[in-house]
């Protein structure tokens, strides 16, 4: 499709590997020119490498000063050059991936000063937000009510926007996702390799997976307590991730006497399919989670997912009893029961692996995510 002179400028924190397919898709199919401006190349709690060789869109990483507050899991970016970039590019539409950085406020101000359309991409839910009051709450309401359109990660993110004053008819519900087909293809390739059975034989008959940062809200502590209640030698846990709680969690594991826990450390996204391919199920036990993209990755890989009901993904991705179950992450007994149930039904779950993967790739695709943006952009640019 031939590009028109409509210009879109997308402001985001970092160009993470799971966002590149979305931006590439918008660049390919959108009837506009797209530029992505990032506040930083990486953040302390997201040590992904910038996959420049995969990027097909125009992008810029702003200069700035960066730090990270681990106690609040808060990245702080103080950037310069955004106003200049906006003036030079002169976009018709600005899309912001949040409202928790000064640069996002600056982009919103620019849209008002120069009468540009502003679209807010929101993932926050009432389950995950830490504040809707005070000065920060007022800023959120001001930006939300001042936006022209909204793209929501899913149903819970849309509910949050409505609660802070966004008109329902201006909210476009997409799906927060990754390149699902890539995960499906890679895990199938790995499972078909000659050495796969040998690799799998090193682990217990039922293997569950945790992928994420080792920090309190991710809930790995509760998962270890649940496994300690089961004390089942046929169930193993693979932990893929790192973080400030790693040593204390390993100590807790020893203290509880939990066996068959395999600590694999942090891995880049392109390395994750190996661990998905070995596993039967994923557990996301977060007590607070905006979405949980590991759920997308796991489902694309054909895994059965036990997903915290505090994660946005639980309400859009999980079909209860078919591709997973949702649970209260603070109820260790409930989690232990679901893991036991998963083991008891493992033959049926493995028989559904291909169907789970196919369904996830069809329903939660990058194309569906891009469509919500395309509809929102069309709504603010058509006269």
Distances (CA, A) of 99 to 50, 120, 361: 23, 8, 30
pLDDT for residue 70: 80
Q: Using CB atoms within 10 A of its CB, is residue 163 exposed (0-12), middle (13-18) or buried (19+)?
A: middle
Q: What is the 3-state secondary structure (H, E, C) of 4-43?
A: CCCEEEEEECCCCCCCHHHHHHHHHHCCCEEEEEECCCCE
The closest of 99, 101, 96 to 137, measured between CA atoms, is 99
pLDDT of residue 49: 82
Angstrom distances, CA of residue 375 to CA of 58, 122, 165, 253, 370 = 21, 16, 21, 48, 9
Q: Please provide the DSSP assignment of 276-342 as one string.
A: HHH-SEEEE--SSBS--HHHHHHHHTT-EEEEETTBTTHHHH--BTTTEEEE-TT-HHHHHHHHHHH
Question: What is the enclosing helix (H) or strand (E) of 378?
Answer: helix 366-381
Q: Which residues of the chain have pLDDT under 50?
A: 1-3
Rounded to an integer, what distance in angstroms lies between the CA atom of residue 54 and that of residue 241? 24
- Token pair for residue 379? 């709504």
Predicted confidence at residue 47, as pLDDT, reads: 74
The model carries a pTM of 0.94
CA–CA dist 227, 328 (Å, integer): 16
Looking at the DSSP bridge assignments, the partners of residue 262 are 238
Tell me the domains of the chain and their CATH numbers.
7-177+365-381 (3.40.50.2000), 180-363 (3.40.50.2000)
Residue 65: burial class (beta carbons within 10 Å; 0-12, 13-18, 19+): exposed
Q: Following DSSP, what letter does each residue of 182-230 receive, concatenated?
A: HHHHHHHHHHTSTTHHHHHTTS-SEEEEEES--SGGG-HHHHHHHHHHH
Please tell me the distance from the alpha carbon of residue 370 to that of residue 332, in angstroms, as a whole number: 38
Query: Angle, nearest 10°, between helix axes 180-191 and 353-363?
Result: 160
Tens digits of per-residue pLDDT, 156-211?
Answer: 999 999 999 999 999 999 999 999 999 999 999 999 999 999 999 999 999 999 99
For 88, half-sphere exposure in the C-beta direction (CA atoms, 13 angstrom radius) is 8
CA pair distance 76, 221, nearest whole angstrom: 28
User: Going by C-beta distance under 8 Å and a sequence separation of 6 or more, which residues neighbour residue 124?
Assistant: 157, 160, 290
Give me the count of residues in the chain.
Answer: 383
- The edge-to-edge listing of strands for the beta sheet with 149-152 is 58-61, 33-38, 7-12, 93-96, 117-122, 149-152, 171-173
Element (H, E) at 78: strand 74-79
Q: What is the dihedral of CA 122, 125, 131, 136, to 10 degrees?
A: 10
Other CB atoms closer than 10 Å to residue 348's CB: what's the count? 9
Q: Is 244 helix (H, G, I), strand (E, B) or coil?
A: coil
**Count of alpha carbons within 13 angstroms of residue 105, beta-carbon side:** 13
């Amino acid at each position: 499709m031939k590009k028109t002179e409509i210009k879109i400028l997308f402001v985001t924190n970092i160009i993470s590997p799971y966002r590149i397919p979305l931006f590439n898709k918008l660049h390919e199919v959108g009837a506009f020119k797209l530029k992505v401006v990032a506040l930083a190349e990486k953040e302390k709690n997201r040590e992904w490498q910038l996959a420049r060789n995969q990027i097909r869109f125009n992008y810029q990483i702003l200069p700035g000063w960066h730090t990270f507050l681990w106690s609040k899991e808060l990245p702080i970016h103080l950037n310069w050059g955004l106003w200049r970039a906006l003036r030079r590019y002169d976009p018709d539409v600005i899309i912001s991936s949040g409202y928790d950085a000064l640069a996002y406020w600056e982009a919103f101000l620019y849209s008002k000063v120069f009468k540009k359309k502003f679209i807010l991409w929101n993932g926050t839910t009432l389950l995950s937000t830490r504040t809707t009051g005070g000065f920060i709450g007022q800023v959120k309401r001001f930006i939300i009510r001042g936006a022209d359109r909204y793209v929501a990660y899913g149903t819970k993110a849309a509910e949050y926007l409505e609660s802070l004053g966004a008109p329902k008819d201006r909210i476009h519900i997409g799906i927060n996702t990754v390149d699902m087909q890539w995960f499906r293809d890679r895990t199938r390739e790995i499972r078909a390799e000659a050495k796969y059975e040998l690799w799998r034989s090193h682990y217990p008959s039922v293997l569950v997976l945790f992928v994420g940062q080792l920090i309190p809200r991710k809930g790995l502590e509760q998962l270890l307590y649940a496994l300690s209640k089961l004390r089942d030698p046929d169930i193993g846990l693979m932990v893929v991730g790192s973080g400030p709680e790693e040593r204390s969690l390993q100590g807790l594991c020893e203290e509880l006497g939990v066996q068959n826990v395999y600590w694999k450390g942090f891995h880049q996204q392109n390395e994750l399919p190996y661990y998905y391919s070995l596993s039967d199920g994923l557990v996301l036990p977060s007590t607070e989670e905006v979405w949980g993209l590991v759920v997308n990755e796991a489902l694309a890989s054909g895994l059965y997912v036990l997903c915290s009901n505090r994660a946005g993904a639980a309400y859009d991705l999980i079909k209860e009893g078919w591709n997973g179950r949702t649970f209260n992450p603070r109820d260790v007994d409930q989690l232990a029961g679901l893991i036991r149930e998963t083991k008891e039904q493992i033959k049926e779950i493995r028989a559904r692996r291909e169907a789970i993967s196919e369904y996830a790739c069809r329903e939660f695709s990058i194309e569906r995510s891009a469509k919500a943006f395309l509809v929102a952009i069309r709504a603010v640019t058509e006269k």
